[in-house]
Structure 1
């Protein structure tokens, strides 16, 4: 078992595999589901540089009421990075947004395909979707551009509306090969510092090791540098152009944000809420970007209240 990988007997272990191919790439996603297959579906989507494991406690708790789905995005956790087809030109003519999938069009496409595969068993039921970080952009692309229908959407400290940017993103993007060649010890120090910045409270050793593990495996350094370069070129034009303040009339939307988020400031939550027409915007004090570790109980209460309210409406 690779460092940080869940034991196969863990209830949230990703035991299923989904394969997908489009005109330029092939994808292999690891996923699992928990709870009664006849219950209403609930999908958790993680962001960068995390994996589905950030949602494990919530998935276990909510699987008593819902049929819960977890998966690792391409290049994260236990899902390998997308692979270009050998006969296809994937240079994208110098377009950095397309090359790095900085608008998440490819990740959103494969998520939409996985969604369609799951949908075969839903018998007309629509899923609730809970999204964190860049999963906000993924979930909105799937809804607005791929026609995937949700019962509700809960967005937590998400990448979904500009502007974006951190000094580290810019620094790495200016010379990615330098960072790929860093000694392992130096790279791990940068990685750990980056993760610590996402949390308002001190992360315990077990959690820190779990969050670092996927990027410390073979090829992980290159993958992590790629994620930072991708973030430096983040683009949301395809969906932001559709934010007209009325999406929330057809789709119940709740936004939850850490009041102490140093990655994406809390004022973004209110701009996004207005742009989407969200039913509710909630700030959680004493929480940074990793709200599920800073204030796990309060986040759990907010999720439970939201899902019970929407499911009963």
Structure 2
């Protein structure tokens, strides 16, 4: 009987997002692929340190121990070839991570394989791979360096935070703000307050998380979500009505009106925060793991850039 991942939350993560491979990536960039391959083979028995996405992955996999059904599947999506991958698998085994599936593309792009595995979320340090995933309609983020270790008692409840416009929602309203200013944005949102916002690249992921939350007793839900947005009154009404129309659960909402997001995110204790703007994602990465969503609508608008290259 064929195995299916249809009922799982499927997370694809690159090896450099899961583990700290900055040194190895520097060798790749400065000395080339052959030097990188030689280094990895010579050090393949050495365990890699956790990377920015490690705590999130560990917490997500813990959900499987809390349920009779398998709720989460994590797979490695890597530009490594098979010959340079043993160190990655040895490190996975060392940390006891229940990860058994992998795509090792040997330098080729990874977005083409997301549909085959039904990936709900893709995390990588490679901007090209993430942009290709977003363009193909998948939730994806360019993860920023973050090395803080979470104690195991902080991994019992997963905390995921999202920006609103161009992440959970489309950039429809953000375009009004960028092109016509704050006053026009406020007036547009007031006029359309009862019209749900179009879905953004992470809308379906939020719906999947909401479905997982509903599978647990109300007082034992191990997933907590937050909306952390620069919106404030009166622009919050449309957001609230949109979430209600989607019939999704959002546990906490912060309408900051331009106040820096990182302090709220630190108090929330996010295991990951998704934002389309570099200024917010990079600032947040100082206190919590963060990823930038390089959303580009049909109108060509996108968040800020962040250079990245990744062999892993």
- Whether these two folds match at TM > 0.5 is no
With normalisation by structure 2, the TM-score equals: 0.27
TM-score, normalisation: structure 1: 0.27
Q: Which has the higher contact order (CA 8 A, sep 6+)?
A: 2
* Bigger Rg, which one: 2
